[in-house]
Structure 1
């Protein structure tokens, strides 16, 4: 019996040395960009119970872990799941169920043709559409109601401009809303033609008509959210920040997530309503593994394309017009005070240099200096040189959307002139203020594709490669900076950098597999890159 003891010890030692840890998924033979602090690359990853256990070489991971499922990627490229740091996820879904898609139309006539099929395709009592842009048309002039009246004399029409800051209506809609030449709205404008409403409503004036549009049903909304999720997964998105929602929409999202049908991780920003303040803000942040509510979203001004962005001096192509301030100063102070007292974030839409100065100076009154509140300015699109340093001085986060730059570049200098344009879409200058910034698309204002965000951030050209060398390319981001802005910095903007945004042990196994190496790909290859699969919490969702 004594002779058996050493043999048993040796056998036990051999068995223990060869026993592998069982995990849900082992992924090997990839080029994996972790996007951690050192921008580490790896070949393999082990995942268990929705989180990353380890990354390393294929040999290391195979020797230590046994996966219930294995995935040999045969050289494909793995990135953290893309995170759109500013979009309108719910609105995009609702559009899919109610609104005609007017994106890319080259003339009003093309829009009229699309609207003729609206009743049959969408039903409802209104003709609704989204994403027209007069800057894509010959003459670049705002349309009017004339032809809409001819086509739809008895049906109200409401068509939202691509930026969401102008509405185009027919006479029926204006009549129902009681809009006349004398209608005045703080933070908005009713455009006139021959002394009568032309059919174009800017910013807050849109609400005169929009309040009459029938509310989406819960069934339509749920259908829209699932349709939006499907399209986002196909694009490689695993997280989104939805900028401005009501209580009922957030509760619906929460319910759908807990039921397991809405898998997207959502940072839900609040509309500034008393209902939201009572239900969410005064109770503190609300958080689950898929939903976060910790931010109030407000607006300082309108958009550059519809000349509603608030400028310090008049528009170069519209003397006498310097844009719109959406709310009085007292409103911004009240929101900032409420958010500060309840440890909430504030995210304020600001496009023009006047809008950005308004927000920077308002935030400064509450933040007082360096801090970790992470209050944001959404877009930070045009900043006067004297104001850039305020972002760093008060730790204010510039939240950018790089595709706005390449969409606006054909006409932005017309609006601003050769001097002000130097402070527009200045992403590299903004990045240097705090050393990080989040990046998104603002979809449905822009296409949902995160690869287009990468393309615009790095190359600053349109998809045909114009202008050669990139538009104000010195303000472009590097490839590494861009990937961080779409992943870990986007997570940091919502205080979630310890849970997601990089492929590191302990974080959610949210990742996307591409057929293309974004760190070396040509511009053409980036645009042709294919999303092979998308994973959330180790579950394949596309």
Structure 2
């Protein structure tokens, strides 16, 4: 042993003198199929994260030679994507709604009543609020009547919101509190009256007559709602959400939660079309942090197709002499467009019917005056007369669409529209106007799951796989377009394409790992693909148990 001792001492000395490689990265993801969603749709098998941002993308061999990471994720061949972005949703409203009676998917008015009765046994005081009923999936597709609701709750006020958020049914107690009278007229809404009696049905602006009487949620309730919504979104792989139509007071609540580190979800807020919101943002200017971006206003042109509030050029096929309505006079839209343009903010307008879309496209065009980079948006862009399509491209107007609306509506939309159905849900046609299109869900109107968005965009089928050949497949997106619509194009709609939406050096390290590759999986498997892990700033915020 003594004869080996000098050699061992020399070796130990050499090792001691050799400089040790120090950590120069926080995270290495390797053995993955990384869809970078860069300009050429490059794939890689590894990337490095430092200080919450992507530092390098490439092959594991080359990156491991250059970087020593504190944490290594072996993806074992799984697909990795940029964090998904929902370009149109109602984040806070969704969180608050998690505390209400869930009426989504119930197949009859009787089932709705049973659910509300059960809910009332747990929430024994105050207003009873529900969300999600849809008469279009009932055997009797007519709007319900409040009579049974009145007998169940003669004293407690009740309001149950339709799935699209553009109609509700209230019991007499709620109507009394709000002072609603039979035959009452309201601009941009309807108080339904039959044979001189209130049915309880309120459409669009009429809903607000009642909801304004509901006590406002406390700040603690709002914080709880935001964190509950965040939890479900991270589970779905969402790392940024556009929250459409919120009050300016929400900015400080979100900013405080993000500063404390409790709210990690990135949010793009569109303030509601109200004077106090304009005054606030015009005075202070756009608000921008890594987690919060406020530079847009959300305006409502019309209602929804399901409740016949969408404004059409010609009458509804299933309700002759009725065209729907605008939610405000034309002069209002002209006024707000002019002042939003003057202050350099983004305008985003809900427009469903072909008449509402035509009006807003022309108002936009008058203010944008041709090619521009102001990125004004039409939210939903659902029914577009063929003669108006070119206005999107001529003025660089962004059609912000929700693919699951097509597959939710397709079974009954033809009854509303007749032959005009071919002018609806024309995502491919709209995408070609500017060469890109952002995608969202409109949750809680639709499910928050981005896999449903992807599936509806490319397969144009419902969750039962119907129709077998897809719905109006000439307007399906291909898989690359759909993925871009949920990532880089959604980021671009928010002026954020240089900081998120792709896995490229310098961008936020927001990414998701899925259990199957959505670019290669069978179409029928797409809705069932699950998120394994979600990361924000290179930090894990969700892992499938």
Fold conserved between structures, TM > 0.5: yes
Matched residue, 1:278: 279
Alignment of 1:217-366 (within 5 A): 217-366=218-367
Q: Which residue of 2 aligns with 1:455?
A: 455
Q: Residue 309 of structure 2 aligns to a residue in which SS?
A: coil
Q: What is the rounded CA distance, in whole Å, between the counterparts of 1:193 and 1:400 in structure 2?
A: 36
Matched, 1:150 2:151: yes
CA deviation after TM superposition for structure 1 residue 20, in Å: 6.8
CA deviation profile, 1:454-503 (whole Å, cap 9, x unmatched): 00000001111111110001101000000000000000001000000000
Alignment root-mean-square deviation, CA: 1.4
* Counterparts of 1:335 and 1:505, CA distance in 2: 39
* Aligned pair partner of 2:57 in 30, 39, 55: 55
Partner residue, 2:530: 530
Say which SS state the counterpart of residue 304 (structure 1) adopts: coil
Encode CA deviations 1:326-358: one digit per residue, 9 max, x unaligned: 011121122111211111000000000001001
Measure the CA separation in 1 of the matches of 2:342 and 2:126. 44
- Contact 2:297 2:348 survives alignment (8 Å): yes
**How far apart are the structure 2 equivalents of 1:456 and 1:227?**
26
Shift of 1:122: 3.5
Residue by residue, what CA displacement relative to the aligned partner does 1:343-397 show, whole Å, maximum 9, x if unpaired?
A: 1000000000001001001111100100000000000000000000000001100
The answer to whether the aligner puts 1:76 opposite 2:75 as a matched pair is no
Residue 415 of structure 1: SS of its match in structure 2?
A: helix
C-alpha contact (below 8 Å) 2:480/2:519 kept by paired residues: yes
Paired position in structure 1 for 2:33: 31
**Aligned pair in 2 of structure 1 residues 15, 525: CA closer, same or farther (>3 Å)?**
farther
1:376 equivalent in structure 2: 377
Cα separation, 1, equivalents of 2:167 and 2:379: 18
Query: What is the CA distance between 1:248 and its match in structure 2?
Result: 1.5
- The answer to which of 302-311 and 63-72 deviates more is 63-72
Change in 2 beyond 3 A, CA 1:487/1:122 = farther
Q: Contact 1:21–1:64 at 8 Å: present in 2 too?
A: no
Take 1:275 and 1:350, find their aligned partners in 2: how far apart are those partners? 23
Shift of 1:19: 4.7
Deviations 1:32-79 (A, max 9, x none): 000000000000010000000011111111111111111101011100
1:96 aligns with 2:98: yes
Q: Deviations over 1:482-540 (max 9, x none)?
A: 00000000000010000000000000000000011111111232122110000001010
CA distance in 2, matches of 1:116, 1:107: 14
- 1:146, 1:123 → 2: CA distance? 21
Report how far residue 194 of structure 1 moved.
2.1
C-alpha contact (below 8 Å) 1:281/1:294 kept by paired residues: no
TM-score (norm 2): 0.95
Deviation for aligned residue 1:21: 6.1
Tell me if the contact between 2:183 and 2:193 (Cα under 8 Å) persists in the aligned partners: no
Counting matched residue pairs gives 528
Q: Do 1:284 and 1:343's aligned partners in 2 also have CA atoms closer than 8 Å?
A: no
- Residue 15 of structure 1: how far off its partner (Å): 6.4
Stretches of 4+ moved more than 6 A in 1? none
Most deviating of 474-483 and 337-346: 337-346
Decide whether the 8 Å contact of 2:428 with 2:477 is kept in 1: yes
CA distance in 2, matches of 1:345, 1:437: 16
Q: Work out the CA distance in 2 between the residues paired with 1:268 and 1:377.
A: 16
- Secondary structure of 2:490's counterpart equals helix
**Unpaired runs of 5+ in structure 2?**
1-13
Unaligned runs of 5+ in 1: 1-10
